Structure 1
């Protein structure tokens, strides 16, 4: 269930009389618990409560119904219950049907309210549904409630008016919803002359039976587009019952006033939405959530789109807000300095070229108004002084029409709320209407539009909209806007899309076709931007286009940007392909956040792993590198330079290489079966083969991949050399397997696989000999481990193509691979899956800078590697996963690794490194010297082949 669905279920429960027998189970059902789960609790099988009238769901909640007036005492009993502790519950809750109290056991936060009003606190309990909670949602349920009501209305209107769901009329529907939102907000905030004016008028003048609701709404909309002065409304033949509605102008009610037809149910949904208290609407929360209403693909995640203010401020604060606050602090009470700051702020433009529903712009506007209010307070200005910060300085581009409309509306609401807060209700209402006609949110493709035309350095650029507040044709005239000498800050959260996107499992043909069209469109966007710059653009993530657009924009104007980006553009091969084009001679990274989770209000705390990258013109002085430490706060370091790997070092780009730059053994991919699974044996099958025919034993080898080596679930394979093939295939057990391989390979569409049907006993690609020792390197591994989960095997083990192998290497090579230095190098220069390490032999091993090792160095490292293996062996049968769990790593194994790190680091600088920054600086320095000196790639050993010799 999503947040909107949960809110609706909780509201329905709260509005009904409390059934003391059923409440605990109805409450759990409202948060998405399955019927089977509730049935077991109801039966008592899983209910371990020791409190009278209690129900305990382990790891979730302990709740109890109690006698009248005993709520607080029952909550105390729940808190003191041994079962509450034993069951590791997140919440306790008590109610007598009149009042309700609850407590979050993690932080001690509590709620207490009337039973009928507990739905207003539904956000408090969202963790019960696996949904991360955000303070703003906890504090107010209105935004989620409003989203849910409007979603029901939207779907019902489309059901009754299917033509409004077509591409031709979707914009009309979106525009209609925008008008409704304005009316709901205006009637509860004093903009309209009386509270609830719109909802009450629709209720009074429309008749569900006659179906005239659409006519009533159309008449109201028409009235608000005609001035109230003079005889304008009389001449327009507008009925007198609309006289209380003001003249809104601004294009919001201009153009067509067509309204979809309302069913009885749609009318009910409209009235329910209007009965909410829209006074408390938070435009950045509501705007983010409501954008899913009009998107068929996103509606399943309704109510999940809100991004927290602290995350947005990670972008805006270092981009420009921190500087404004610093200037405010430096100004003290000096009225001249404060005035200069206010004048500066009046000329600042904030431009989000991927603005969605406008939450970055709304937060930027609110923060600037807060600073301005403090300036006015210190200058002792009149309380009703009008703001000098115009909404037209907050510009955006959004591809989809409905979020673009909501972004414009959200800014209008934010301006009004700020005026009420800082100037007073009377002045805010007086200055609010009529609305201005400028439109500063453009609906279009940000990678195809000219940013300079939409947000020029100075002077002009605000589009005039004659009829429609939200449409922004690009061929319109422009109006002058004084911004001489102003600053432009570009920010945003561009789409999270990689170079390739696979359809989700089980996707319909329609979904696959849609994703294909979207991928082709994105490809065309990037080709337009990059085709003349690099031949490697096809491997770049989509967000690269926004960085490229800014680099072009920055050539014409003094500006800075900060984008939230998938961390993949700062890792792996994308770094050397993208960032030399962006940074060049003029730009630098002037602040950055290293990888962290950019979480929305999503189930299971889901969130994509991102970085924040700020760019500006090169200038003297330090730059800021931030690290999000979660509960421990944010760590800031001021450094001389941040390179494209987001480390404090000069600009260096590591390219994949076909050979090693150091005097170390080559690493290759494992061997690829391409056999349909017929050459692979489970442990049971391998034992069964040997038992049924002892001749098979000489052809069976351990077959080890990434998961096998980490978790110890080894498989086996048939490993047959050319000279052994005749004897091996004379064994019936083996022959039956190779026959299946012939069939599978013959039916393949790949020519190489088809050719392999001639040698069905052999792997299609063989990259090792079976008489070599093996150091196995997993392709992917958890970032939680302090060391890479490297394994060492005696001769005979076969490495699967899901892993890498260093074959026949001296054991000191393992000491390099399991070192903290190597892990840090991999984490920095190789790409990642989310935050997990993604190993690359060409990018991570071949480029790893190792000083020339003396024989004594090799002897010392050999001893270190052997000690690590002995420490592992001492804890048999513990797996690599067990041994390298950071919370449970054996002390002797940890000491062996510490010794290994000390020995290796002394090879580099004669002592231990002080920290990772010093380690990386040395590694990059060593890499730079080794590659600049013209180090030739090591001669590559050819191992790939069709058969084992």
Structure 2
């Protein structure tokens, strides 16, 4: 269940008559517990309560209290030894009148009338496996409103199917935006009296809903007509109390979809919510999903947390403004200068969606302005921060409309907060007709025409606020901005998943710059456009991006071009989860990168420590790998420079499948021809290595071919290989038909054992898959192998240090690691190892192998599942990491950023030595 579904279920529970016996089970059902789980709790099979309640292990202890005894019952639940033993996260007590609960980990509590406990449903979302942040707990209204609007939207489309077509989708979305404004306006005194919009519809429309659409249409028409003209154009008397809104929100067609009785009922329910509680920080993102059919299944999971947005905005410009405010103190001249500066700042989000970044920027800047006004004894001063300074581009029309609406709501709420309700109302209507959100493809539009240098007019705009064609003439206001800050969270989309249109977008930006642009993630287009923008006017930009743009081959492709424009990385946040309101903390791993062509002496590098805290490092340079250090690109090395083992590709069969046997086929062959045993070996490809699958292959040396072909089944297979190779379309394959008894490419064969490394593996594993195989196992070309190398090589490859290196310098397939011998292993910086170091590492490798042996026949995929890795195996790896990292710096590293810094330091030192040696060689020559 998602958050919206949970809210609806909890609300239904509170609205129904209270049933003391059924409440605990209904409560759990509302948070997604299945009937089979509830059945076990009802029977007592899994109910661990010692107080006559319901105790679900690792979740919650619930008890229905005697009348008036809710507080005492909650204290008893907390003190219960069963609560402790079952590791319950929450305790809940109610008597049907009062409701109390406590989060046992944080100590946070809820105490409210029973009917109001759905307002706190966000508090309990962990019961459904949904990780929450503080803002979402405080935004139950937004989730409730989103759910109700979604039900209305779906119900309207049932009876107005044409409104769901591409031709009328915009009309439907625009209708929803109008409704949202009206609900907000009637609860915030913008309209003549509280609830007037909803009550007018209820009174003037028939209960059978036959004329509901006509009533709403007349109200929309009134809001698009100046009061003085109401009578002249025939506005119905009952609609004349509604104000002239303007701003384009109600201009154009006033056509409204027809309402069924159910849809009318939904509309009344939505109108009866308290829309004063709307939070534009979150609501815009969530309501966007109402209009996106493919996204409704995840409704309520589109929330981007304010702390995450501030990870972009704070180092981009807000930290500097706060610092200047601190420096200004009570100095009136400095405060005035800072206020003037803030009023001229432009924030531009060229992938603005429903406006989260713009709304948060606006609210934070209004808070700074308000503090300045207080220090200058001008608390009721009208804001000088224009909404037109918060500009965006959005591909889809509905999110673009919601972004404008969210900013309008944010402006009104800030006016109420900082100046008072009376002043806010006096200046709110009519809405301004200027437009600051452009609907279009950001990678195709000229950003300078939307957010141009100071003194130039904006070219792309709309005739009114809520209609945004991009080919309009120049507007009549000058761009008076000072500083420009570009920010946002553009779509990521790896090159494998890009649509033809998206690939074409990247081609338009990168073709002529680099031939390798097809390997770039889609988000790279925004970075390049920002850098190009910065060559024409002063700006600082920062985007959220997939970490892959600062890893592997994309580093040389993208960042070479960005640095060529004169931009540098001025701040960055290394990999972290960009969490949303998603089950099990689902979220993509991202980075934040800020660039500028302005001289900034001290750069800021943020990273997450292993205890979860945020570390900040100040440095004079950040390279494209997001490491404090000089710019360079890690290049492949054909063979290692030291005595580490030589890593080679596995053996490539190119046989049409004829060399391979399943277990049953092997047994059948050996039963009919026992002499074939010497030609059958265990084969290890990727699936066999990672998932422990059994597979066998024919392995025939040249000297043994004649004897092998005396076995009829082997002869048949060899002939099939010869035919397949001779008929191959690949020119390099056809010559191999001359030796059809053996693999087309044979690298090496172990004399004692092989260290095996998967070429492609999941980034979700905490360690790279590496195994030890005997000499009779044939290693396939989906793996790399180091033959007969000392075991200390395994200890290095199995370390977190090596995992970090591979994840940074090697190519990625989607998000999976694509290992490379020349780029990953041969370049891996290894300090000079003493014999003791090698012995210690060897013991660590043996410890890892022994721990795995304890869980035989579990496969790598099972052993290295991050959620259920065996404790002894994890301890073995921890010991290995301890030994490895002490060799490098004498202690454990604090996080991956520190690991990378040390590795790059060693790498650059090695490069310097190599260059020096080459120079000396030339001098001697």
- In the superposition, the TM-score normalised over structure 2's length comes to 0.90
Bigger mean CA deviation after superposition, 871-880 or 575-584? 871-880
**Over residues 798-839 of structure 1, what are the superposed CA-to-partner deviations in whole Å (9 max), with x where a residue is unaligned?**
224442112354666546545676444324322457987542
Q: Does 1:18 pair with 2:15? A: no
Distance 2:551 2:915 in 1: 19
- The Cα offsets for residues 172-231 of structure 1, whole Å up to 9 and x where unpaired, read as 1111111110000000011111000100001010113261111111111111111113xx
Contact kept in structure 1, 2:682 and 2:697, CA below 8 Å: no
Aligned match of 1:220:
219
Check 1:257–1:710 CA distance in 2 against 1; reply closer, same or farther (3 A cut).
Answer: closer
1:467-519 Cα shifts (integer Å, max 9, x gaps): 54222222222334455460000000001210012xxxxxxxxxxxxxxxx61
Match of 1:286 in 2: 283
1:917 to 901, 918, 923: 901
**Structure-2 change in CA distance of 1:735 and 1:187 (3 Å):** farther
Whether the 8 Å contact between 1:463 and 1:472 is mirrored in structure 2 is no
Q: 8 Å contact 2:452–2:458 — kept in the other structure?
A: no
The alignment partner of 1:157 has SS state of: helix
In 1, Cα distance between the equivalents of 2:351 and 2:159? 33
Equivalent position of 1:128 in the other structure: 127
Q: Unaligned regions of 5+ residues in structure 1, if any?
A: 502-517, 907-912, 936-949
| Secondary structure, aligned partner of 1:168 | coil
Which SS does the other structure have where 1:20 is aligned?
A: coil
Q: Report the Cα offset of residue 403 of structure 1.
A: 0.4
How far the C-alpha of 1:916 sits from its partner, in A, is 5.4
Instruction: Tell me the equivalent position of 1:82.
Output: 81
The equivalent residue for 2:853 is 877
1:137 CA displacement:
1.9
2:376 is the counterpart of 1:379: yes
Distance in 2 between residues matched to 1:829 and 1:122, nearest whole Å:
44
| 1:271 has 2:268 as partner | yes
Residue in structure 1 matched with residue 316 of structure 2 by the alignment: 319
Q: Which residue in the other structure is 2:110 paired with?
A: 111
Q: 1:735 to 1:75 in 2, by over 3 A?
A: farther
**1:439–1:462: 8 Å Cα contact kept in structure 2?**
no
Could you tell me how far apart the structure 2 residues matched to 1:876 and 1:631 are?
27
The aligned runs of 1:835-850 (5 Å cut-off) are: 838-849=818-829
Match of 2:400 among 401, 404, 410: 404
Q: Distance in 1 between matches of 2:442 and 2:641?
A: 42
Cα distance change of structure 1 residues 778 and 498 upon mapping to structure 2, 3 Å threshold: same
Which piece of structure 1 moves more, 302-311 or 692-701?
A: 692-701
Compute the displacement of 1:44 (Å). Answer: 2.9
Shift of 1:460: 4.0
Q: How far off is 1:259 after superposition?
A: 1.1
Residue range with higher mean Cα deviation, 147-156 or 457-466: 457-466
In structure 1, what is the Cα distance between the partners aligned to 2:373 and 2:880?
63
- Point out the more displaced range, 459-468 or 345-354: 459-468
CA contact (8 A) 2:829 2:906 kept: no
Q: 2:523 aligns with which of 543, 555, 563?
A: 543
CA deviation vs aligned residue, 1:401-452 (integer Å, no higher than 9, x gap): 1000000000000000000000000000000001000110000000000000
Asked if the contact 1:702–1:714 (Cα under 8 Å) also holds between the matched residues in 2, the reply is: no
Q: Is the 8 A contact 1:152 1:269 kept in 2?
A: yes
TM alignment of 1:759-908, pairs within 5 A: 766-769=746-749, 771=751, 773-779=753-759, 788-809=768-789, 813-814=793-794, 817-818=797-798, 822-831=802-811, 838-849=818-829, 863-872=839-848, 877-878=853-854, 888=872
In the superposition, relative to structure 1, how do residues 30 and 524 fare at CA in structure 2: closer, same or farther (>3 Å)? same
3-state DSSP class of the match of 2:496?
Answer: coil
1:340 corresponds to which residue?
337
Structure 2 CA distance, aligned partners of 1:158 and 1:760? 64
- Alignment equivalent of 2:449, drawn from 441, 448, 453: 453
Instruction: Label 1:73 to 1:672 Cα distance change in 2 as closer, same or farther (>3 A).
Output: farther
Shift of 1:384: 2.4
Give the Cα–Cα distance (whole angstroms) in 1 for the partners of residues 803 and 734 of structure 2: 40
The answer to whether the 8 A contact 1:404-1:442 is kept is yes
Tell me how far 1:24 sits from its aligned partner: 2.1
Does 2:556 match 1:599? no
Cα deviation digits, residues 154-189 of structure 1 (max 9, x gap): 111112111111212111111111111000000001
Query: Equivalent residues in 2 for 1:294-313 (5 A)?
Result: 294-313=291-310
CA 1:108 to 1:733, structure 2 compared with 1: closer, same or farther past 3 Å? farther
- Give the direction of change, closer, same or farther, for the CA distance of 1:32–1:671 in structure 2 (3 Å limit): farther
Relative distance call for 1:773 and 1:876 in structure 2 (3 A) is closer
Q: CA deviation at 1:753?
A: 9.1
Secondary structure at 1:292 match in 2: helix
Query: Bigger CA drift: 308-317 or 740-749?
Result: 740-749
Q: Secondary structure at the match of 1:211?
A: coil
C-alpha distance in structure 2 between counterparts of 1:736 and 1:14, whole Å: 74
Change in 2 beyond 3 A, CA 1:802/1:65: farther
Q: Contact 1:669–1:805 at 8 Å: present in 2 too?
A: yes
After superposition, the Cα gap between the structure-2 partners of 1:38 and 1:676, relative to the gap in structure 1 and judged at 3 Å, is farther
Deviation at 1:248, TM superposition (A): 0.8
Q: Post-superposition shift, 1:341?
A: 0.2
User: What is the rounded CA distance, in whole Å, between the counterparts of 1:664 and 1:120 in structure 2?
Assistant: 62
Gaps of 5+ in 2: 891-896, 920-925
CA contact (8 A) 2:40 2:46 kept: yes
User: Please, which moves more after superposition, 491-500 or 97-106?
Assistant: 97-106
Task: Select which of 333, 348, 352 maps to 1:351.
Answer: 348
CA shift, 1:795, in A, is 2.1
Is 1:635 the counterpart of 2:601 in the alignment?
A: no
**What SS does structure 2 have at the residue aligned with 1:265?**
helix
Equivalent residue, structure 2, for 1:44: 44
Give yes or no for contact 1:825–1:920 (8 Å, CA) kept in 2: no
Q: Does 1:499 align with 2:499?
A: no
CA shift, 1:142, in A, is: 0.7
CA RMSD of aligned residues (A): 3.5
Q: 2:438 — aligned with what? A: 442
User: How many pairs are equivalent?
Assistant: 904
Tell me, what secondary structure is at the counterpart of 1:173?
Answer: helix
User: Helix, strand or coil: the match of 1:293?
Assistant: helix
**Structure 2 SS opposite 1:113:** strand
Q: Is the 8 Å Cα contact of residues 681 and 699 (structure 2) preserved in structure 1?
A: no
- Residue 667 of structure 1: how far off its partner (Å): 2.3
Q: Which moved more, 1:321-330 or 1:680-689?
A: 680-689
Any conservation in 2 of the 1:860–1:903 contact (CA below 8 Å)? Answer: no
Give, in whole Å, the separation in 2 of the partners of 1:208 and 1:735.
85
The 1:260/1:871 distance shift into structure 2, 3 A limit, reads closer
Q: Deviation per CA, 1:537-588: give whole Å up to 9, x if none.
A: 1110000000010111000011000100000100011111110001225110
Q: Aligned to 2:499, what secondary structure does the other structure show?
A: helix
Residue of 348, 353, 359 corresponding to 1:362: 359
Mapped contact 1:699–1:720 kept (Cα < 8 A): yes
Distance 1:865 1:465 in 2: 65
Deviation, 1:83, is 3.0
How far apart are residue 655 of structure 1 and its match?
Answer: 3.4
Farther-moved stretch of structure 1 (688-697 vs 544-553): 688-697
Residue 97 (structure 1) aligns with: 96
For the 8 Å contact 2:794–2:845, the answer to whether it is kept is no
CA contact (8 A) 2:551 2:809 kept: yes
Show the counterpart of 1:938: none
1:4 Cα deviation after fit: 1.1
The alignment partner of 1:106 has SS state of coil
- 1: CA distance, partners of 2:521 / 2:440: 20
Question: CA shift at 1:105, angstroms?
Answer: 2.4
> Any idea what SS the aligned residue of 1:715 has?
coil
Structure 1, 827-836 or 197-206: larger mean CA deviation:
827-836
Aligned to 1:616: 596
- Pick one of 247, 250, 255 that aligns with 1:250: 247
- Hey, what's the Cα distance between the residues in 2 that align with 1:926 and 1:276? 66
Cα separation, 1, equivalents of 2:903 and 2:674: 53
Which residue pairs with 1:29 in the alignment?
Answer: 29
Structure 2 equivalent of residue 3 of structure 1: 3
Q: Deviations over 1:620-674 (max 9, x none)?
A: 5110000134864311000111000000011111234555566655423333567
Q: Pick from 680, 696, 700: which aligns with 1:717?
A: 696
Deviates more, 1:138-147 or 1:924-933: 924-933
Match of 1:511 in 2: none
User: Structure 2 vs 1, CA of residues 783 and 152 (structure 1 numbering), >3 Å: closer, same or farther?
Assistant: closer
| CA distance 1:808–1:631, change in 2 (3 Å) | closer
Structure 1 residues 254 and 663: alpha-carbon distance in aligned structure 2, compared to 1, 3 A threshold = same
